[in-house]
Amino acid sequence: MARSPRFDLLFEPVRIGPKTARNRFFQVPHASGMTNANPHVRAAFRATKAEGGWGVVSTGACSVHPSSDDSPFPFASLWDEADVRAHAVMTEAVHAHGALAAVELWHGGAAAVNRTSRLAPLSPSGVPWMATHVGFMSAARPKVMDAGDIRDLIRWHAEAAMRAERAGFDILYVYAGMGYLPYQFLLEDYNRRSDAYGGSVANRVRLVEELIDAVREATHGRCAVALRMSLQELRTRPSEAAPSEAHEVITHLKDAPDLFDIKMDYSTADCAPSRYVAEGSHEPVVKFAKTLTDKPVVGVGRLTSPDTMVSMIRRGVLDLIGGARPSIADPFLPRKIYEGREDEIRECIGCNICISSWHDGVWVRCTQNPTAGEEWRRGWHPERVRKDATGTALVVGGGPAGLEAALTLGRRGYQVSLAEKAREFGGRLLWETRLPGLREWFRVADYRLGQLRKMPNVSLFPESDLTAGDVREFGADHVVIATGARWTANRCGANEIPAPPLDAPRIYTPDDIAAGVTIDGPVAVFDFDNYYMGSAIAEHLAGQGLATTYITTAGAAQAWGFMTNEQPLVHQAFLKAGIGYRTLEVVTDFDGATLTLAQIFTGERREIAAQSLVIVGQRAGGSALYDALRAEGTGFRSLELTGDANAPGAIAHAVWQGHRTAREVGLDAAGITVLRDAPFAPRDFAEPREAAQ
């Protein structure tokens, strides 16, 4: 299919200093959880994006020195020749597909507390980042940088730049954003110095200028130099010389780098969830920078619509379409637009499961793209599935796992039938995406249904509630059961494990609300699942005019939402909706009028009035259909249980399970290979210490 001419603008080459990007699609640096310990995993993950048409493919933040140690969170480094070799695996793979490779040189300063290296954290004025989340907390406080430390920092960037060039990178970033060290020099909150690096904006911007110069000089102008900076906070700071301090900073730096990459200051705003923030939310900040410099500007904002991309370029908002989350959800997004296949784009849903991966310290995960992180380890490609199968397959259950299983089985060559007892396909998505802010999550079903309906070897059967006898009579070679999970009314016990339900009136689960039960207020929502469901139900009930109180075992509403950048926005939504919340409490009793609570650590008894109680806690998997088929002896070539029916979890877990099941159906153990990556050892690149001495 031919590309629409209205998208031609997206495929124009863009000059970035001494380099030229083949088009305007720029995969900006983003965390992937893939460090130098996983060089082949990382290379395959990034190379897939280059294959998919991204003109520039960036790796994530790379520490320039052991004084910037982010452990236990996964981080990459450019400290020695072993690191050079590890990164070269990625740049070679990216270059093989015609893309430029970029690296983000990073020093965390006061935000990196060096748990492993144990070096004193560095800071312009000794001001620490007093993190409130336990994962980031530390008793270590930074030292005030002296003139020697500043010279060292500049030298470390120059040395890292030389290593980066040897590793094959084309674009080298100076990173002055997100609270990291160069940013700390820009902001008076951190920078209280009285020397040439503090005080006026001109002084505070000096270090960033010197880092840009040092990186360029270290590579003798052969590599492009990009500046990534956060402007959200600086735009709010008044200035006597300009409309804001951000105006002053950009004016000082407007000719310094070869490229500006504009970010927000805070992760919640920079990688905001779709539940609360729409596509293109960065536009005001990105456009502001574009008005002050003639250098190319790249910006993000969960951009998935080609028409939006073209509009932003034509309106002078930016020059390059930045992508982090959309490039994970669909590494082939640019190629699909180029080939006129926009309807096949696997659009990012903005759930931020990818961001939670970094907080969890693991390789990136994606709800839409189950192959993310599995390109090398399992050999999974996001667009190609080996057509190696014949015969028939029946998938029972049309939710996220069933849809993914049917799609992948169809791509393998099976004649696939997908049966769903409801009138519509989508499973849990049908109701969950009707909760406040979650509509974009239905893209999970929309994408898969769109592809399935094009496939001549796939048949869809809605309103088909199959019994074990029906399945046997159908006679498929392979049967996959993906019938989902159910919410239980179990409470949370003293040991933070589920306890038996209460025997009381008007106790409900999310399944009851999905079925349309009438809830009387005031209503309490007891959440020990601690992901999105409890808070979304609270917002849903408050939206119906019910007095709503949210109760959780954790220390904050939707505690796991910290991992997905939702937690601050959930609290803001509660305030706006008038939802009260209580933390660190468990429900111990309910009589239909009074709810009895206990403080989770002390057991102190508390009571509140409530007519109804909604419990959002444990989900139970399992399938009576699967059990019946197994009990009778299968008679099939294979029978599989997958998705939430196998092990309940987030939608991303269900999709991944469905994909894995479909990839492995019909294969014996010898046909399933899972590779194990390993780092390059520094001893392979340097003499032993004693010999060197």
Query: DSSP assignment of 13-78, as one string?
Result: -EEETTEEESSSEEE-----S--TT-HHHHHHHHHHHHHTT-SEEEEEEEESSTTS--TTS--EE-
CB count within 10 Å of CB 334 equals: 31
Residue 150, helix vs strand vs coil: helix
Query: DSSP assignment of 259-313, as one string?
Result: EEEEE-SSHHHHT--TTTS-TTTTHHHHHHHHTT-SS-EEE-S----HHHHHHHH
The Cα 89–Cα 47 span in angstroms is: 10
Query: Quick one: which of 257, 265, 84 has its CA closest to 171?
Result: 257
Tokens 């009895």 map to which residue?
596
The Cα 47–Cα 45 span in angstroms is: 6
Residue 336, helix vs strand vs coil: helix
Beta bridge partners of residue 678, listed in sequence order: none
- Joined together, the tokens standing for residue 441 give 């999550």
Q: Catalytic site residue 532?
A: no
Rg of the chain taking only CA atoms, in angstroms: 27
Contact 318, 299 (CB under 8 A): yes
The Cα 62–Cα 106 span in angstroms is: 5
Contact 563, 579 (CB under 8 A): no
Q: DSSP letter at 258?
A: S
Contact 527, 535 (CB under 8 A): yes
CB count within 10 Å of CB 331 equals: 30
Task: Tell me, rounded to whole angstroms, the distance of Cα 492 from its chain centroid.
Answer: 29
CB count within 10 Å of CB 33 equals: 23
Helices then strands, each counted (H, E), the chain: 23, 30
Give the per-residue SS3 of 483-532: CCCEECCCEECCCCCEECCCCCCCEECHHHHHCCCCCCCCEEEEECCCCH
Q: Up-side HSE of residue 642: CA atoms within 13 Å toward CB? A: 35
Q: DSSP letter at 120?
A: P
Question: What length does the chain have?
Answer: 693
Active-site position among 173, 180, 508, 626: 180
Q: Which amino acid is at 59?
A: T
The Cα 175–Cα 171 span in angstroms is: 12
Contact 548, 525 (CB under 8 A): yes
CB count within 10 Å of CB 1 equals: 10
CB count within 10 Å of CB 144 equals: 13
Give the per-residue SS3 of 611-674: CEEEEECCEECCCHHHHHHHHCCCCCCEEEECHHHCCCCCHHHHHHHHHHHHHHCCCCHHHCCC
The Cα 322–Cα 260 span in angstroms is: 11
Measuring CA to CA, how many Å separate 424 from each of 402, 415, 462, 481, 556?
13, 21, 6, 17, 36
Q: Would you please indicate which residues are annotated as catalytic (active-site) residues?
A: 180
